[in-house]
C-alpha cells in the first residue's frame, strides 16, 4: 500500500487536455524540470490524453520531457478508452475497449511513447462492460511476468470489480475521483484497507474549484475547456458553494495555508494511503500543491471538516465524461 508522503505527485493531463488550449511545450518541459527539483517523483498520464492534432500528445510529451529522469521517477499511465471523435461535445463521450489484443497494442504504444521499457503503474482507465474484469486482470498478470508493467490498478473502480480483479492479479492502487465535493468513494476505504490497496485521488480540488480562485466572472473557452460545462463553476452555483469556500478559507487561515492546500491536506491526513494528483501549468501552483504535504491536520480536525461537509449545501460537481454506448 502507498504510504503517506512517499510520493510527490503531478497529474499531467491538463498540460494538453480538458482545461483550455494546450500549454506551450517548452514552458511545460521547464515546469517538469522544476517539479523534479521540488522533489516530485510520481507523474500520471494516459494514452487518451490528447489534442485534436495528436491522439497521444500527453504520453509523447511526458516521454520526451522526463526521459533523462526515468530511473528516478514513477510513471503511471492508463489504457482502455478512446474518444468518440464524431461527437460535437467539448468533452466527447468515451468508448471503452479492454479486449486483450487492444491492451497488448496499448502497452506497446505507451512504452514507445514514454521512452521506457516498463510502466510502473498501469491502470484500466474505465471498466469495459463487454470484457470480464478477470480477463483484464489475467492480461495484467502476463504483463507483470513479462516485465512490461510493475504494478496495476483500476480507475473509477467499484468494490465488486476491485475484489474480482484483485483475486486474479493483486491490485496496487485504484484511481477514483475524490474531493471535498465528491466523497462517494469513501465507501471503498474498508475494502482498500482489507486488501492493502492504495487510493490515488484525481480531481482532488474539484477540477480546481476548491482553490477558491474562481468567481462568477470566471470565463472558460467553450471549445477546449471542460470547466465551461462543469456545474460547480456555473455562476448560479458560486453562491451555493460559498459555505464550502468559507470553510476552506477559515481553515487555511488557522493553518497559515491556502484553500487549495487545505483541500489536499484534508484527504492526505484522512488516510495514509491516499495520494492526490492535482495538475497545473503554473510553477507557483505546483509549489503550493506540493507544500500541502507539510500541513498537519489532527484526526479531530479532519472529523470536524467531515461533519461540516456533511451538513452544508453545495452544488453538483462534475462527475466525469459520459461513456458512449457505441461498441469498441
Catalytic residue set? 49
**CA separation for the pair 278, 268 (Å, rounded):** 13
The one-character DSSP state at 149 is E
Residue recorded with cell 512490461: 148
Of 29, 76, 57, 69, nearest to 275 by C-alpha is: 76
Q: Which residues pair with 95 in a beta bridge?
A: 82
DSSP 3-state of 187: helix
Taking CB atoms within 8 Å and a gap of at least 24, the contacts of 156-162 are: 156/126, 156/127, 156/320, 157/127, 157/188, 158/127, 159/187, 159/188, 159/191, 161/127, 161/133, 162/188, 162/191, 162/192, 162/195, 162/197
Q: Cell numbers for 35, please give them.
A: 517539479
**CA separation for the pair 11, 33 (Å, rounded):** 14
**Helices and strands per DSSP (H, E), number in the chain:** 11, 10
Evaluate whether 113 touches 60 at the Cβ level (below 8 Å): yes
Dihedral sign (CA 94, 99, 186, 212): negative
Amino acid at each position: 500500500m502507498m504510504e503517506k508522503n512517499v510520493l510527490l505527485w503531478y497529474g499531467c493531463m491538463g498540460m494538453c487536455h480538458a482545461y483550455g488550449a494546450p500549454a506551450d511545450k517548452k514552458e511545460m518541459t521547464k515546469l517538469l524540470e522544476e517539479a523534479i527539483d521540488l522533489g516530485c517523483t510520481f507523474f500520471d498520464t494516459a494514452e487518451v490524453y490528447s489534442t485534436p492534432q495528436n491522439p497521444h500528445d500527453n504520453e509523447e510529451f511526458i516521454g520526451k520531457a522526463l526521459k533523462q529522469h526515468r530511473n528516478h521517477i514513477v510513471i503511471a499511465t492508463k489504457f482502455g478508452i478512446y474518444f468518440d471523435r464524431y461527437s460535437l461535445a467539448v468533452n466527447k463521450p468515451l468508448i471503452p475497449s479492454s479486449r486483450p489484443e487492444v491492451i497488448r497494442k496499448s502497452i506497446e504504444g505507451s512504452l514507445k511513447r514514454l521512452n521506457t521499457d516498463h510502466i510502473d503503474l498501469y491502470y484500466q482507465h474505465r471498466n469495459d462492460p463487454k470484457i470480464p474484469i478477470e480477463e483484464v486482470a489475467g492480461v495484467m498478470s502476463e504483463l507483470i511476468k513479462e516485465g512490461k508493467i510493475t504494478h496495476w490498478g483500476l480507475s473509477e473502480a467499484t468494490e465488486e470489480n476491485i475484489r474480482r480483479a484483485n483475486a486474479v492479479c493483486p491490485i496496487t492502487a485504484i484511481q477514483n475521483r475524490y474531493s471535498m465535493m465528491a466523497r462517494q468513494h469513501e465507501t471503498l476505504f474498508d475494502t482498500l484497507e482489507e486488501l492493502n490497496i492504495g487510493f490515488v485521488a484525481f480531481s482532488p480540488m474539484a477540477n480546481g474549484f476548491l482553490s477558491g480562485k474562481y468567481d462568477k466572472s470566471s470565463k472558460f473557452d467553450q471549445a477546449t475547456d471542460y470547466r465551461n460545462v462543469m456545474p460547480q463553476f456555473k455562476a448560479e452555483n458560486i453562491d451555493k458553494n460559498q459555505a464550502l469556500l468559507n470553510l476552506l478559507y477559515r481553515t487555511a487561515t488557522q493553518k497559515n495555508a491556502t484553500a487549495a492546500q487545505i483541500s489536499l491536506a484534508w484527504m492526505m491526513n484522512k488516510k495514509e494511503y491516499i495520494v492526490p494528483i492535482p495538475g497545473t501549468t503554473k510553477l507557483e501552483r505546483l509549489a503550493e500543491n506540493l507544500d500541502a504535504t507539510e500541513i498537519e491536520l489532527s484526526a479531530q480536525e479532519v472529523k470536524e471538516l467531515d461533519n461540516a461537509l456533511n451538513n452544508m449545501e453545495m452544488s453538483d460537481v462534475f462527475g466525469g465524461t459520459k461513456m458512449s454506448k457505441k461498441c469498441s
